[in-house]
């Protein structure tokens, strides 16, 4: 039987890092170690446990079944340990450590950057890392403190609070030059005969073109004359302004060019209204930086409500 009583805990931390990064070299760079040192410590860990945890090839590192089982149990424990250490490092008046958020690209245009700017100004000893992706992930398993998403079903032990505008709309627009040349659609189904600029998530799925008017809902899937990643949405909007086609995306993204007249709103009575994004996090694992960020989000919401009442 393998003797694992004396296995150094830092070996486990290195193992989890390899699982998260998918490579020895990336882990070595993050931890300030040499790749050979990372390899040696993983080998010592496997020897001590008596089972292989990682399968190494010249091109990739794959986690074995035993490795996945170990990582799934260690990850929440390591997250709680890090949160405890950050709390110890943070006094009542000083918040220190790292805040790591896993966010959808939709909040990176005009919702999250101002919040992060204010957060960094208020807490100069906190480091922030933003991981941008559109698929729903287990934030604990990927080593993040919290996530930001739209309307997905979250685990029961997750807390979800609104961040940014409480409601948004999906808007449709085109340039005046395009409408002069191709005409104005009278119904969402007319979009099937128009040049359309489509946006694609990092997951590979196209953003949906969904419209509502009264009790009627219509979803159209027009062929994209031009398809662009959501991460490059500003470029897609700019191309729409040049007359390359119609674009359907967040109204708040289009507001600046709608106000200047570079784009003209199309079928506004059909624009779909939906709930804004939510910040979600574990009810059990709250580091001091995360608590500080949640408090800031709460302050912003309260201020927005006061301003709305004054208008």
**Span 201-211, mean pLDDT?**
88
229 found inside a domain: yes
Q: Are strands 209-213 and 216-220 parallel, antiparallel or unpaired?
A: antiparallel
71 found inside a domain: no
288 found inside a domain: yes
Residue 205 and residue 297 in one domain: no
Whole-number Å distance between alpha carbons of 77 and 94: 25
Residue 172 and residue 243 in one domain: yes
Residue 90 and residue 118 in one domain: yes
293 found inside a domain: yes
Whole-number Å distance between alpha carbons of 49 and 15: 13
73 found inside a domain: no
Among the ranges given (139-143, 229-233, 275-279, 291-295), the one the predictor scored with the smallest mean pLDDT = 139-143
Residue 194 and residue 230 in one domain: yes
What are the angstrom distances between the C-alpha of 268 and each of 5, 55, 209, 239?
A: 66, 55, 13, 21
- At 277, list the tokens: 């994004």
CATH number reported for the structural domain that contains residue 21 in this entry: 1.10.10.10
**Residue 9 banded pLDDT, cuts 50, 70, 90:** confident
Q: Is the pLDDT of residue 6 over 70?
A: no
pLDDT computed for residue 291 by the predictor:
92
pLDDT computed for residue 189 by the predictor:
95
Domain span at 30: 9-63
The backbone torsions φ and ψ at residue 245, rounded to the nearest 5 degrees and listed phi first, read: 155, 180
Number of domains comprising the chain: 3
Highest mean pLDDT among 42-46, 255-259, 305-309: 255-259
Question: Edge to edge, what strands does the sheet with 158-162 contain?
Answer: 126-132, 97-103, 146-149, 278-282, 158-162
CATH number reported for the structural domain that contains residue 113 in this entry: 3.40.190.10
Residue 143 and residue 283 in one domain: yes
Residue 100 and residue 188 in one domain: no
231 found inside a domain: yes
Residue 110 and residue 138 in one domain: yes
Residue 124 and residue 50 in one domain: no
**Residue 1 banded pLDDT, cuts 50, 70, 90:** very low
Residue 147 and residue 288 in one domain: yes
Residue 282 and residue 261 in one domain: no
Residue 192 and residue 264 in one domain: yes
What are the angstrom distances between the C-alpha of 274 and each of 3, 46, 169?
A: 56, 50, 6
- Angle (CA) 272-146-169 rounded to 5° is 10
Among the ranges given (27-36, 115-124, 255-264), the one the predictor scored with the smallest mean pLDDT = 27-36
CATH number reported for the structural domain that contains residue 232 in this entry: 3.40.190.290
**Residue 194 banded pLDDT, cuts 50, 70, 90:** very high
160 found inside a domain: no
Among the ranges given (113-117, 178-182, 214-218, 305-309), the one the predictor scored with the smallest mean pLDDT = 305-309
**Span 196-208, mean pLDDT?**
89
Q: What is the 3-state secondary structure (H, E, C) of the chain?
A: CCCCCCCCHHHHHHHHHHHHHCCHHHHHHHHCCCHHHHHHHHHHHHHHHCCCCEEECCCCEEECHHHHHHHHHHHHHHHHHHHHHHHHHCCCCCCCEEEEEEECHHHCCCCHHHHHHHHHHHCCCEEEEEEECCCCCCCCCCCCCEEEECCCCCCCCEEEEECCCCEEEEEEEECHHHHHHHCCCCCHHHHHHCCEEEEECCCCCECCEEEEECCEEEEECCCEEEEEEHHHHHHHHHHHHCCCCEEEEEHHHHHHHHHHCCCEECCHHHEEEEECCEEEEECCCCCHHHHHHHHHHHHHHHHHHHHHHHC
**Residue 152 banded pLDDT, cuts 50, 70, 90:** low
Q: Is the pLDDT of residue 100 over 50?
A: yes
Residue 172 and residue 248 in one domain: yes
44 found inside a domain: yes
**Span 25-38, mean pLDDT?**
86
Percent of the chain with pLDDT over 70: 90
Whole-number Å distance between alpha carbons of 156 and 133: 22
Cβ atoms of 77 and 70 within 8 Å: the answer is no
Count of CA atoms in the C-beta half-sphere (13 A) of 20: 23
């Amino acid at each position: 039987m393998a003797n694992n009583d004396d296995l150094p805990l830092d070996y486990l931390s290195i193992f989890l890092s390899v699982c998260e990064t998918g490579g020895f070299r990336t882990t070595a760079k993050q931890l300030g170690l040499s790749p050979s040192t990372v390899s040696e410590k993983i080998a010592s860990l496997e020897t001590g446990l008596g089972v292989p945890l990682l399968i190494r090839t010249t091109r990739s590192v794959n986690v074995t079944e035993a490795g996945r089982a170990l990582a799934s149990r260690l990850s929440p424990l390591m997250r709680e340990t890090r949160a405890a250490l950050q709390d110890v490092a943070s006094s009542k008046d000083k918040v220190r450590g790292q805040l790591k958020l896993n966010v959808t690209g939709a909040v990176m245009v005009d919702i999250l950057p101002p919040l992060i700017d204010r957060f960094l100004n208020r807490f100069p000893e906190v480091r922030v890392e933003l991981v941008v992706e559109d698929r729903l992930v287990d934030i604990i398993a990927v080593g993040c403190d919290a996530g930001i998403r739209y309307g997905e079903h979250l685990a029961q032990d997750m807390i979800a609070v609104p961040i940014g505008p409480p409601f948004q709309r999906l808007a449709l627009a085109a340039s005046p030059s395009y409408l002069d040349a191709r005409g104005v659609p009278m119904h969402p189904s007319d979009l099937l005969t128009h040049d359309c600029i489509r946006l694609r998530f990092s997951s590979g799925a196209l953003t949906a073109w969904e419209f509502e008017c009264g009790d009627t809902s219509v979803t159209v899937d027009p062929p994209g004359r031009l398809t662009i990643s959501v991460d490059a949405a500003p470029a897609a909007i700019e191309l729409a302004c040049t007359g390359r086609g119609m674009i359907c995306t967040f109204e708040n993204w289009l507001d600046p060019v709608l106000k200047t007249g570079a784009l003209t709103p199309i079928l506004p009575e059909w624009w779909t209204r939906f709930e804004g994004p939510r910040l979600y996090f574990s009810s059990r694992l709250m580091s001091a930086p995360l608590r500080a960020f949640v408090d800031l989000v709460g302050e912003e919401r309260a201020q927005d409500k006061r301003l709305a009442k004054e208008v």
